[in-house]
Structure 1
Amino acid sequence: MTTVLCYGDSNTYGYSPENGMRYPRNIRYPGRLQELLGDEYSVIEEGCNGRTTIHEDPLDGWKNGLDYLKPCLNSHKPVDIVIMMLGSNDLKTTFRLTAREIADGAATLVDVIREFTAEKQGFIPKIILVSPPELGEDLQTSPFYGDFDEKSLEESKKFPKYYKAVAEKYDCIFFDAAEYIYPSDEDSLHLTPEGHRVLAEKLAEVVKNIK
């Protein structure tokens, strides 16, 4: 069986922009991905609301994606494929980071995945590095406006350029989510059920082509 680890933030967790609750598993993209891939695959959901790449949130310091990465990989080993979609929360005004700096954070995580799995399970999984979707143009009407602002929106549009460079450097499979999905009108951050469906379908195509 092929183990696929989905490591991400609230859009991997399945946060619903309509009510702030969690979508059912058959709506969330990892759950849909499991259905599309079938019984020969085991898709593991590791999404956390507010998770960053490597940066400490002053209010929720435990949401740093770096701190949890090694325990997560060790718990689920052997891991054959890692789908990582992180970076959106690094756009918060708290951090005031550029897209390049955020991609550098993603690169640190990729490096940890490669080194840690080589040591602990004897091989490096295939890594699908997902450049997160852009923030929505109606961000000013979002309940999260203030946590994110116009600068956040501007930097989110630069993700593909820098994430692609990281993918090329570390021999990852690059996936530009912004080509296929866009956040909801409700909050300009989180995916609709349709967004989860499309993301799962496109990622399933990528996973099935991994040799």
Structure 2
Amino acid sequence: MKTVLCFGDSLTWGSCPQTGGRHGHADRWPVALGETLVGVEIIAEGLRGRSTVYDRPTAPADMNGGRILPVLLHSHAPVDLVVIMLGINDLCEGWDVSHVRDGLMRLVEIVRHHPWRLPETDVPDILLVSPPPMTPCWDADVTAQKVSRSEALAAAIAPLAEAMDVGFFDAASVARASTADGYHLEAADSRALGLALRNVVAGRLGLS
């Protein structure tokens, strides 16, 4: 049994742009991904508001991905692949694309250097997923600058993935945030993302 840890924010949790609630179980992208992979355990660790490695002091929980990732790695060990899709909340807090890139670099380092303390445990493979871009909508907080920065994420993350020898997938190739709230995916797009990741994930796991 292979194990895949999906580490993300509200997009991984399954936020519905129409209601502000949560998509049904089948419409969350990690679930859609798991439907296509026999003999693979998909663990969805999505937290609404999570950043890469930056603090959000007014949030209702610790949103710093760099602090919680070691806990999750230890809790779910052994893990074969860590899929990381983060960055939109960094932009929402006013950080630039370069900060997202640097935050993801730190998360890769955390995965690679975690003290597993398990016999014969290999370091997990890593897949960086550039999140779907934001979309202009009625919300004044979804500014043109934020939308533009979100559209530039893939161009910053792809070379980072290459330099660090990890996988890369651009979610913008199959999905974009809904016009209903500017941030989150419609159910069909969330499922489409999970299905589109199937071959990439299978390849990283050495499956057909």
The aligned counterpart of 1:23 is 23
Shift of 1:32: 1.1
Task: Report the TM-score when normalising by structure 1.
Answer: 0.91
Q: Secondary structure at the match of 2:24?
A: coil
The aligned counterpart of 1:110 is 108
The aligned counterpart of 2:8 is 8
Task: Report the TM-score when normalising by structure 2.
Answer: 0.92
Q: Distance in 1 between matches of 2:202 and 2:91?
A: 32
Of all paired residues, the percent bearing the same amino acid is: 35
Shift of 1:120: 3.7
The aligned counterpart of 2:45 is 46
RMSD: 1.3
Q: Distance in 1 between matches of 2:169 and 2:104?
A: 13
CA deviations on 1:110-152 (whole Å, 9 max, x unpaired) are 11011116x445321111100111111x23x03xx32x42211
Shift of 1:162: 1.1
Asked whether 1:171 is paired with 2:171, we answer: no
Unpaired segments of 5 or more residues in structure 2?
none
Q: Distance in 2 between matches of 1:208 and 1:51?
A: 26
CA deviations on 1:47-90 (whole Å, 9 max, x unpaired) are 00000001111201611111110000100000001111000000
The aligned counterpart of 1:101 is 99
Asked whether 1:194 is paired with 2:164, we answer: no
Q: Distance in 2 between matches of 1:83 and 1:110?
A: 10
User: Runs of 4 or more off by more than 4 Å in structure 1?
Assistant: none
Larger mean CA deviation between 151-160 and 40-49 belongs to: 151-160
Q: How many residues align?
A: 202
Q: Distance in 2 between matches of 1:150 and 1:175?
A: 24
Q: 2:145 aligns with which of 141, 146, 151?
A: 151
